Chain A
Amino acid sequence: MRTIRSMVLVSNDLISMQRGAQDVYDRLQAEIKAYGLDQEISLAMVSDVGRHDALPLVIVYPEAVVYGPLKVEDVHGLVEEHLYKGRIVVNLQASNRELSGKIAWLNTRKGTLPAEQRIVLRRAGIIDPTNIEDYILNDGYATLGKALTYMTPAQVIDEVKKSGLRGRGGAGFPTGTKWGFVAKEKSPKKYVICNADESEPGTYKDRLILEGDPHSIIEALAIAAFAVGADEGYIYIRGEYKLAQERLKLAILQAEEMGFLGQNIFGTAFNFDLRIHCGAGAYICGEETALLESIEGKRGQPRTRPPFPTTHGLFGKPTLVNNVETLANVPPILLNGATWYRSFGTLSSPGTKVFTILGNVNTTRLIEVPMGITLREVIGIYAHGMKNGANFKLAQTGGSSGSIIPASLQDTPMDFDSFAKAGVALGSGALLICNEDTCVVDLAKVLLNFFRTESCGKCFPCRIGTQRACEMLEAIADGRATLKTLDQLMDLSTTLVNLSNCGLGQTAGTPLKDILTYFRAEVEAHIRLGVCPAGVCNTTEAVQ
């Protein structure tokens, strides 16, 4: 097993290259080898890291030290002192000022648990989730008190808007804006809902937030209700999450007992009641309008939009629906201010993101890292490298409703806008890391089969399209397809994306497009040569 203990990144944007980044890289490689460290330290070029006054830049993780501008002559000392002896070379460090954008967080995350930055999970693993006293000892309910006592609903919404928080349920919609939509509605009855359905394969971040820190979601929902003018809330939780349900129920009882829920909270005129609603195992009920139908006791099928839930939601009333992780960000934002929150992550996607790492890596785990981290960093540092030293081929984000990300995009910052610009999606936070033994056709087959089974059947592009896509992928895998099949598949992908009624059908088209864009040669090999390059599909089936 090759476990990487340290990672060295060299900037190689145009300016860095002009100033000798290539030579620095080559010398680093030679020195690391000379010290016999090449099995435990990884070295990579990482394009533009956002700071132009000290190029070329060398960043060493996990200590998150930035060196620059670095000259070839400096490399020997750097390797000997820092990488071999473990001492930071202070005089080579870049000055602290002007750290911006993507690397702004490097300084702030030093010394935290495995070099992460914990905002959402700051109490998980530290407090006893069944003990409200533990929660209160760690700033619990102080934010709710502050909001109710000193702030107006408009001020709360304004602070959330300023923080730049974006929805963590998948779509990345600006949270403050959504709150504003609901607050603006003139209705005597409004609802707030926490979406804890979390049915994406491989995603379990919401579960661990709820299990580790259930009171934080109750507090956040109460704040949200105060901000938008609601007096009733639901937590729609996945049916299988028994432990999380138990802990939430207990937490709600405790909160009611102490007056954090119920009438006249903190001695003000604000009333708020909270209920738990358990799902029954349908993936589609995580889609917010299907979720509303489900709470109303109807069949879990997405509604046609508009109207949106913010105006016509639960029982026809204005309703706010937010993901667990989104809500968990709210109390820290109000407690520490929007400016503090913006010091993490990137300009357009501030804050942190919780990821679950799965697949062919040495360590599968849960991490919370600043937005804008790259896949290379996630794999090298937090997952401790690929299993058996294999090569990284692709990552599948978001359980199933994300994208297939090829290795060529592993240095793209993982935030909503950078990913959108690269034509891929971040999804809900699962990162399935695959090595070269993975066949993209086989992977797409698994994903489309999931969508086909979970499609609610309301609209035909998705109901029939996912079925046909499965058949075509099977034909490719079995060696029965022709090149024309690929054109049809691309067509179908466009149809799914553009014409489906809800997000399920829309994202079902994504993996099809992704494999045809990034792995066309591999797909074509199944057809032209009758072989599966990864050795997964049995392409001879058709001959028999």
Chain B
Amino acid sequence: MPIIKNLEDLKRVREEAHENRKRETAAGQIELIVGLSTCGIAAGARDILKAILEDIQNNNRVRIVVRQTGCIGLCEKEPIVQVVVGDQPKVTYGKVTPEIARRILADHVAGGKVLQNHVINL
């Protein structure tokens, strides 16, 4: 990352990052976002993260970015996994188990079918 010396620098960095993200989204990149706060981790989010990474590797899934994030305020629904496919709206899954995580990858990410039973309506 470059050193920021003034507001123009900051703006440039932001715009570059923005362009990068836009390009990735346009290319149909899929984002899997796992809630990794204390509440998520206590509910088993690390296992979910592991299951997702393993599944991606085992099945040679491509164009998937796995990210972590903080608490969205629904501690009771953790572990929470959010899925963003390209520029479609975000889908939020709650009480995810490793099994459900694998199904998210197979059915939703690869197959394009949302697992309605596990979606939390915000």
Residues on A lying within 8 angstroms of B by beta carbon are 113-114, 116, 121, 123-133, 136-137, 141-142, 145-146, 149, 204, 207-208, 211-213, 243, 254, 257-260, 266-267, 363-368
Contact = CB atoms under 8 A, between A and B. Distances in A.
B21 interface: yes
26 contacts: A113-B72, A113-B122, A114-B73, A114-B74, A121-B71, A123-B70, A124-B69, A125-B35, A125-B70, A126-B69, A133-B17, A136-B10, A137-B14, A141-B4, A142-B10, A142-B14, A145-B4, A149-B7, A204-B38, A211-B38, A212-B70, A254-B1, A257-B1, A257-B3, A259-B3, A266-B6
Interface in B35-76: 35, 37-39, 41, 67-76
Interface in B70-111: 70-76
A141 B67 CA distance: 22
Contacts of A257: 1, 3
Interface of B: 1-7, 10, 13-14, 17-18, 21, 33, 35, 37-39, 41, 67-76, 122
Contacts of B3: 257-259
A211 B71 contact: yes
Given A142-B10, A259-B4, A207 B75 contact: no
A9 to B, nearest CB: 23
B7 A368 contact: no
A128 B68 contact: yes
Contacts of B70: 123-125, 127, 129, 208, 211-213
Contacts of A129: 68-70
A145 B10 contact: yes
B19 to A, nearest CB: 11
Nearest to A128: B67
Given A142-B7, A266-B6, 7 more contacts: A124-B71, A128-B68, A133-B13, A211-B70, A212-B70, A266-B4, A365-B75
A212 B69 CA distance: 6
B69 A365 contact: no
Contacts of A137: 14, 17-18, 21
Chain B's interface: helix, strand, loop or mixed, by majority?
A: mixed
Contacts, number: 108
Contacts of A258: 1-4
Contact of B17 (A113, A114, A136, A254): A136
Nearest to A137: B17
B1 to A, nearest CB: 5
A113 B38 contact: no
A476 to B, nearest CB: 35
Given A137-B14, A368-B73, A260 B4 contact: yes
A365 B67 contact: no
A363 B73 CA distance: 11
Contacts of A125: 35, 69-73
Task: Pick from A113, A116, A212, A363 the residue with the most CB of B within 10 Å.
Answer: A212
Contact of B5 (A113, A127, A259, A367): A259
Contact of B76 (A145, A259, A365): A365
A113 B120 CA distance: 12
Give the 4 A-B residue pairs with the shortest CB-CB distance, closest first. Answer: A212-B70, A125-B72, A124-B70, A259-B3
